[in-house]
Structure formats: structure tokens, C-alpha cells
Amino acid sequence: MGLNMTREEKVNDIRRRLRAAGLTITEVARELEVDSQIVFAVLSGRLKGDRGDARRVADRFGLRDERPVSERLDEALRVGGAK
């Protein structure tokens, strides 16, 4: 997956790759040892993947922001207008 892909593009790429491999969401969930609804929720955007099983799924799919917390905090404060 490209570095500059949006989350939606990443999810579409993941779905395409799963289809190409002949894998179902249920099979992926079984492999990751999580409920299939968690996988569906992460891929649909209902869960961000911040905690627990959703985090495990998002990590495995490469959907989480891997930048250090300090870098993300600096960005958040700049976006919010704080100096």
C-alpha cells in the first residue's frame, strides 16, 4: 500500500487483496482470533482501531497512524490553531 493513500483507499485495497486471495471477512476474523463484526466495523470505519481487538485488526491491515505520539500531538495543536 502506498504511503499517501487515504484510509478509504487503503480499505479498498485491502478488500481487493482479500477478494483476490479468495478470503472472506469471516476467515480473516478467525485467523486474527476476533469476532467478524470487529473486522467489518474497522473496514467500514465504524471503529477506528484505537483499542483492543479493533486495534489488532487495524494494525494487521496497516490502517493505524504509526507516527510517534509527539508528532501527532504537534500536528493536532497546529491544526487547532494553538501555538
Set of cell numbers at residue 66: 504509526
Domain boundaries defined on the chain: 7-79
Above 90 in pLDDT, residue 83?
no
Cα–Cα distance measured from residue 9 to residue 13, given in angstroms and rounded to the nearest whole number: 6
Q: Do residues 1 and 62 make contact, with C-beta atoms less than 8 angstroms apart?
A: yes
Cα–Cα distance measured from residue 30 to residue 83, given in angstroms and rounded to the nearest whole number: 46
pLDDT tens per residue, range 9-48: 999 999 999 999 999 999 999 999 999 999 999 999 999 8
Over range 61-67, report the average pLDDT.
Answer: 81
How remote is the C-alpha of 55 from its chain's centroid?
Answer: 8
Portion of the chain with pLDDT greater than 70, in percent: 87
23 vs 82 pLDDT, higher one: 23
Cα–Cα distance measured from residue 73 to residue 71, given in angstroms and rounded to the nearest whole number: 5
